[in-house]
């Protein structure tokens, strides 16, 4: 094993990581807060008895995210990261206001479409890559990924309480306020972005044809397909194990928080000792183990909770490492484009996981969902095991 580097993150990198993680967390908290309470509330709205519209209101965000991630990533390469991020956050604010004022379910759909059109994930992760050296990039991506997981965990606890206090309309107003606060953070707290690289632009087709990037894109699709498919069946499994729906946070929250602690040693080994590929492959193996474990022994409460903890550990490691790897593999003038494609396949994974997980659970049973996810994890493991190990550049400063 290589000797550890004594180089540490500098102040600019710490501020960049913390502030961009805050932007992600504030925005994602606003999105997650409606998930536990939207379907019951929709029944009180005109048109809310139409389950197709209710489902579209929840899924419209992901659809427009998938459509706009690549254009936003390309625009951030051409016009700069911060202007694109601010524009996306402004659209999100407008969508939140429309949803807050919506008289019926159809207008909530319009609001969700506008929220999703503020597809800033690629631009934010590209900016994080711009502001950090390669040997510290995975730590920064881990900060961003952990903030998303924490926002999800907090939403599970806070959503019912906020709904009782300010209703769904108030929650949409809150999402708008959080997005507006994120604009302030981007403009005043996040360090200045590097100058836009001049020269010939890398064509999108060239980025799509890069096999190393294609492996990463398949990976994020597989990761989020498994995540969504898991959440199609896990709540029912917990209820079946005797835990009421209102108390599921008692499993989710400890699992998420514990996974943050357990992922830290893996990130340190990956970056400090140059073992990126080994940790990456191990995390995918962990996901495969989880799917097999749930297939063979995922019935009892403690069994499901234990497998969920391991899933979150693997998930959070991969959420941190994959954007970092994308930023290292992608051509210098096409980081935003590459991350836009990456985030588009992530959104497609979320969509496919929900659709395929629901279809398999209905027609073939819960075990079939875990079996299918195990096959996908095995394919991903094979692709990851044969990829080239990324080189780590010990740059002297932020680039």
User: In terms of domains, do 133 and 277 share one?
Assistant: no
Write out the residue range of the structural domain in which residue 67 sits. Answer: 10-196
Is there a domain that residue 396 lies in? no
Last residue of a domain, one of 180, 196, 212: 196
Cα 223 versus chain centre, distance: 10
Q: Which two tokens stand for residue 27?
A: 């925005």
Is there a domain that residue 220 lies in? yes
DSSP state, residue 7: -
DSSP state, residue 399: -
Q: How many CB atoms lie within 10 A of CB 121?
A: 28
User: In terms of domains, do 188 and 233 share one?
Assistant: no
Cα 105 versus chain centre, distance: 26
Is there a domain that residue 38 lies in? yes
User: In terms of domains, do 51 and 173 share one?
Assistant: yes
Kindly give, in sequence order, each residue whose CB lies less than 8 Å from that of residue 253, ignoring residues fewer than 6 positions away. Answer: 153, 156, 157
Taking each continuous run of H as one helix and of E as one strand, the counts in the chain are: 14, 0
Task: Supply the CATH number for residue 321's domain.
Answer: 1.20.1250.20
To the nearest 10°, report the CA torsion of 384, 387, 388, 391. Answer: -30
Query: Cβ distance 322 to 343 under 8 Å?
Result: no
User: In terms of domains, do 207 and 345 share one?
Assistant: yes
Q: How many CB atoms lie within 10 A of CB 2?
A: 9
User: In terms of domains, do 161 and 231 share one?
Assistant: no
Per-residue confidence (pLDDT) for residue 51, from 0 to 100: 63
Measured CA distances, 29 to 23, 153, 175, 336, 395 (Å): 10, 9, 8, 24, 34
Is there a domain that residue 319 lies in? yes
User: In terms of domains, do 189 and 98 share one?
Assistant: yes
Last residue of a domain, one of 149, 171, 196: 196
Query: Cβ distance 341 to 207 under 8 Å?
Result: yes
Q: DSSP string covering 326-342, please?
A: HHHHS-GGGHHHHHHHH
Looking at the structure of the chain, the number of domains it has is 2
Per-residue confidence (pLDDT) for residue 201, from 0 to 100: 67
Is there a domain that residue 52 lies in? yes
Kindly give, in sequence order, each residue whose CB lies less than 8 Å from that of residue 189, ignoring residues fewer than 6 positions away. Answer: 15, 19, 22
Last residue of a domain, one of 170, 196, 222: 196
What string of pLDDT tens digits covers the 399 residues of the chain? 444 444 688 888 899 889 998 888 887 787 778 876 776 787 788 887 776 777 677 767 777 888 888 899 889 888 899 999 999 999 999 999 999 999 998 899 899 889 988 888 888 988 988 898 877 877 787 788 777 777 877 887 788 788 888 988 999 999 899 899 999 999 999 998 887 766 556 778 888 888 888 999 999 999 988 987 887 788 778 888 888 867 877 888 888 888 888 988 998 888 788 888 999 999 999 999 999 999 998 678 899 899 999 998 998 899 888 887 887 888 877 878 888 888 888 878 877 887 788 888 878 888 999 999 999 999 999 999 988 876 655 333 333
Per-residue confidence (pLDDT) for residue 380, from 0 to 100: 96
The C-alpha R_g of the chain, in whole angstroms, comes to 20
Is there a domain that residue 117 lies in? yes
Is there a domain that residue 397 lies in? no
């Amino acid at each position: 094993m290589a000797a550890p580097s004594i180089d540490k993150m500098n102040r600019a990198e710490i501020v960049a990581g913390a502030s961009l993680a805050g932007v992600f967390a504030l925005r994602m908290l606003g999105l997650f807060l409606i998930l536990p309470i939207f379907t019951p509330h929709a029944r009180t709205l005109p048109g809310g008895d139409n389950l197709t519209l209710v489902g579209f209101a929840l899924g419209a965000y992901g659809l427009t995210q998938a459509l706009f991630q690549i254009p936003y990533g390309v625009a951030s390469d051409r016009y700069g990261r911060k202007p694109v991020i601010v524009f996306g956050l402004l659209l999100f604010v407008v969508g939140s206001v429309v949803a807050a004022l919506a008289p019926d379910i159809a207008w909530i759909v319009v609001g969700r479409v506008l929220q999703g059109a503020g597809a800033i994930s690629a631009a934010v992760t590209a900016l994080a890559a711009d502001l950090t050296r390669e040997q510290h990039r995975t730590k920064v991506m881990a900060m961003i990924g952990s903030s998303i997981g924490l926002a999800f965990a907090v939403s599970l606890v806070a959503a019912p309480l906020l709904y009782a206090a300010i209703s769904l309309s108030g929650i949409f107003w809150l999402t708008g306020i959080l997005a507006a606060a994120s604009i302030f953070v981007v403009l005043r707290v996040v360090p200045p972005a590097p100058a836009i690289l001049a020269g010939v632009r890398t064509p999108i087709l060239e980025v799509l044809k890069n096999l190393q990037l294609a492996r990463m894109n398949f990976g994020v699709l597989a990761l989020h397909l498994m995540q969504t498919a898991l959440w199609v069946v896990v709540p029912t499994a917990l209820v079946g194990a005797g835990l009421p729906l209102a108390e599921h946070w008692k499993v989710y929250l400890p699992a998420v928080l514990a996974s943050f602690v357990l992922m830290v040693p893996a990130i340190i080994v990956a970056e400090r000792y140059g073992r990126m590929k080994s940790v990456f492959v191990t995390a995918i193996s962990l996901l495969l183990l989880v799917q097999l474990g749930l297939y063979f022994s995922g019935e009892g409460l403690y069994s499901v909770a234990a497998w969920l903890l391991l899933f979150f550990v693997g998930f959070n490691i991969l959420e941190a490492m994959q954007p970092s790897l994308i930023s290292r593999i992608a051509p210098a003038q096409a980081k935003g484009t590459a991350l836009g494609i990456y985030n588009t396949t992530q959104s497609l994974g979320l969509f496919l996981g929900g659709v395929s997980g629901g279809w398999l659970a209905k027609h073939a049973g819960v075990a079939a969902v875990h079996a299918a996810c195990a096959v996908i994890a095995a394919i991903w493991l094979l692709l990851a095991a044969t990829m080239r190990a990324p080189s780590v550049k010990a740059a002297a400063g932020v680039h």
